[in-house]
């Protein structure tokens, strides 16, 4: 498996399971309907675990443009590969979102809440305040990337990825717990995108897919879960280099 496929498949798994748990909680007539925020946070943590574990031997398991850019800023990843990784991540996120829609298609049809349908695909603020929402995403991603830089082990040899620093399979569980902690502690204001591909790829699919009674895809907010995580990740990388 090439690094491109590793990132694509890992991100697709991440979104299939992460978007899937949101669908299970918010859509009507599911077995998990209304099971709450704790279930969503735990489901996303396990989604990260699976995505990282599967893709880590082949790509280093970034699964997140903010992580890829930040590792390059920190001098732990080749800048020449950043674009390839980001394309794979966004495409993987789109595939994962499509699979969620396919799995829950009947439940989308049974749900009238257009905001809930959008929430399956992308994040949105509990209180809409662009500056505050941006700051929240910066803080959440700073925590994610700063911790990931300590979890990532430079001595790990990745198959087919010489010079492509990332997470080995051993880092999957710590990162899953890290994402769980971020969701429980910092996820309330914005839904903790902390990953541009996680939000943008599925938002594009929400716009494209034939979902009945859906609302607009909230493009006016879409820049925040893209720019915020990148800023937070870069700040984390700079802080790591200083330390």
DSSP 8-state class, residue 80 = G
Instruction: Report the pLDDT value the prediction gives residue 1, as an integer from 0 to 100.
Output: 86
Burial of 163 (0-12, 13-18, 19+ CB in 10 A): exposed
The mean pLDDT of the chain is: 93
Q: How many CB atoms within 10 Å of residue 206?
A: 22
Q: In the chain, what percentage of residues exceed pLDDT 90?
A: 90
Instruction: Report the pLDDT value the prediction gives residue 118, as an integer from 0 to 100.
Output: 98
DSSP 8-state class, residue 156 = P
* Domains in the chain: boundaries: 3-242
> How does residue 152 score in pLDDT terms, banded at 50, 70 and 90?
confident
> How does residue 243 score in pLDDT terms, banded at 50, 70 and 90?
confident
Instruction: Report the pLDDT value the prediction gives residue 160, as an integer from 0 to 100.
Output: 43
Q: What's the rounded Cα separation, in Å, for the pair 159 and 132?
A: 41
Q: Please indicate, yes or no, whether the overall pTM of this predicted structure exceeds 0.85.
A: yes
Instruction: Report the pLDDT value the prediction gives residue 117, as an integer from 0 to 100.
Output: 98
> How does residue 79 score in pLDDT terms, banded at 50, 70 and 90?
very high
pLDDT at position 157 over 50: no
Which fold does the domain 3-242 belong to in CATH? Glycerol uptake facilitator protein (1.20.1080)
Q: Which residues contact 85 (CB under 8 A, 6 or more apart)?
A: 3, 4, 7, 59, 62, 65, 68
Summarize the confidence of residues 129-140 as an average pLDDT: 98
Instruction: Report the pLDDT value the prediction gives residue 153, as an integer from 0 to 100.
Output: 52
Residue-wise pLDDT for 199-235, tens only, equals 999 999 999 999 999 999 999 999 999 999 999 999 9
Residue-wise pLDDT for 19-75, tens only, equals 999 999 999 999 999 999 999 999 999 999 999 999 999 999 999 999 999 999 999
Residue-wise pLDDT for 173-191, tens only, equals 999 999 999 999 999 999 9
* Listed residue (240, 161, 200, 170) closest to 64, CA to CA: 200
Do 196 and 225 touch, CB atoms closer than 8 A?
Answer: yes
Q: What's the rounded Cα separation, in Å, for the pair 132 and 125?
A: 10
Crossing angle of the two packed helices 65-73 and 196-208, in degrees rounded to 10: 150
């Amino acid at each position: 498996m090439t690094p491109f496929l590793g990132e694509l498949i890992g991100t697709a798994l991440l979104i299939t399971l992460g978007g899937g748990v949101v669908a299970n909680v918010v859509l009507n007539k599911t077995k998990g309907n209304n099971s709450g925020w704790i279930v969503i946070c735990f489901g996303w943590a396990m989604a990260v675990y699976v995505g990282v574990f599967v893709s880590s031997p082949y790509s280093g398991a970034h699964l997140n443009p903010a992580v890829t850019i930040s590792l390059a800023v920190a001098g732990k990843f080749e800048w020449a590969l950043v674009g390839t990784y980001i394309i794979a991540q966004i495409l993987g996120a789109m595939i994962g979102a499509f699979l969620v829609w396919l799995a829950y298609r009947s439940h989308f049809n049974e749900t009238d809440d257009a905001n809930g349908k959008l929430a399956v695909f992308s994040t949105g603020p509990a209180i809409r305040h662009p500056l505050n929402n941006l700051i929240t995403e910066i803080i959440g991603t700073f925590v994610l990337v700063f911790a990931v830089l300590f979890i990532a082990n430079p001595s790990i040899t990745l198959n087919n990825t010489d010079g492509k620093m990332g997470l080995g399979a051993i880092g999957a569980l710590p990162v899953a717990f890290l994402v769980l902690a971020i969701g429980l502690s910092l996820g309330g204001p914005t839904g903790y995108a902390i990953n541009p591909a996680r939000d943008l790829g599925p938002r594009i699919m929400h716009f494209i897919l034939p979902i009945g009674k859906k609302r607009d895809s909230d493009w006016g907010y879409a820049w925040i879960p893209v720019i915020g995580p990148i800023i937070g990740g870069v700040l984390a990388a700079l802080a790591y280099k200083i330390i």
